[in-house]
Structure 1
């Protein structure tokens, strides 16, 4: 991705995504600025995962146009984008170290030093089998896999889903400390609004496949006079 004068890493124009029986995303227009951490918030079925998969180039919109770093997402997107799916995509029979070495083989932008450093911060034993890790520890390992790549865009789909508070706190601290705003943008979908709030520069509230609200966290707090968690309750309550 070239560093042109375009301030936006992601540009969506009238994006729709239809499945057989479902209109998952309905006419979304949004531009996401480079160098920001953006929260993608909404209940299950609001279109968060569908939107992230389109940004990652894994699925294509039914209508509308999408640009990521000035180009249409496709199968080559993995060169520019690190995508962490909500599903557990790690191999249970590998050790933590084998997992990182395996992933490193796919990407020229892999940063082995960063992976080793995060392993220590996340308190993971490199010799342990993935199948023996708790859900929280597996979530930590998945995050290391995503954040150890030197790419302009990182997409995280529900990285805190169903994990313990201590792992959640560690993961959030790690995202904040590893984030390089001069070089990267992060879009993160989550239900854990309260803990995640300090991370977000901007927030998108999705409702039934449409954007309900998109603004900076600062403006949203000023407008509503409360925290993002309270805004969530007002939007979806």
Structure 2
């Protein structure tokens, strides 16, 4: 099994000047107008969102969202179902284009240039039911120049997936592990994982998260959307909370825990009950 990198201890991280994060004195019930999570090395954000608004048939999914995220972070995108998490990830992935506001990924608007930098794991399957793991690896090798087939095979072995079984013959958890093996094997700068542990049994969640972190590039940005806060909290170093399509709270995970005197899971349960 490959070594699973952990978030760097605080005493090993270079000092940074915090940017416009949620003020510690603010009530957690007061939505934030905008947030900028600081990088560890002072580099500019790799994801920059300004006044992003998206509606479906007149019903708002995202409302005036402004957020900056740097590389080198593992961000938990948190909120109840229907709060806008999936919509935000689809916009960042270049899947949705009819929105208002500004979105930049490494300086590019979502499109062909940004898609070359982003690996997106949607919440629905993107593989043909008849495909085996090896056929899926071959498909990704043809489609993505940055795809690392050897890493994909290592992850497939790590997850103990049967090489000769098609996707339709696998359990839901096994299928999710295969999709994660593929998505995490691109040499991307931004990884977008939409509910990667939703719908799988609790015993499989830790294994999936271990696989996600295996050989993860510490200079990349990972955004994991979830409503299962307790499972994801140990692996993230930053958090963004959405409520009703608006930015509710954002910042360094340790700072948020200290400011509110509770875990992120407890904060979520308090504010979203």
The alignment's C-alpha RMSD in Å is: 1.3
The match for 2:227 is 191
The match for 1:93 is 130
Contact 2:117 2:188 in 1 (8 A): yes
Per-residue deviation at 1:6? Answer: 4.7
Unaligned regions of 5+ residues in structure 1, if any? none
Give CA deviations for 1:154-182 in whole Å, capped at 9, x if unaligned. Answer: 10001111101222111111222332112
Contact 2:146 2:187 in 1 (8 A): yes
Q: Give the number of equivalent residue pairs.
A: 232
Q: Distance in 2 between matches of 1:43 and 1:140?
A: 24
Contact 2:108 2:114 in 1 (8 A): no
- 2:207 alignment partner, one of 163, 166, 170: 170
Q: Distance in 2 between matches of 1:80 and 1:17?
A: 23
Larger proportion of helix: 1
Q: Distance in 1 between matches of 2:248 and 2:71?
A: 22
The match for 2:81 is 44
Matched, 1:152 2:189: yes
The match for 2:239 is 203
- 1:31 alignment partner, one of 65, 68, 91: 68
- 1:74 alignment partner, one of 102, 111, 132: 111
Larger CA deviation: 170-179 vs 153-162: 170-179
- Give the TM-score taking structure 1 as reference length: 0.94
Matched, 1:220 2:218: no
Give CA deviations for 1:112-161 in whole Å, capped at 9, x if unaligned. Answer: 11111111111111111110110100110010110010010110001111
Unaligned regions of 5+ residues in structure 2, if any? 1-41
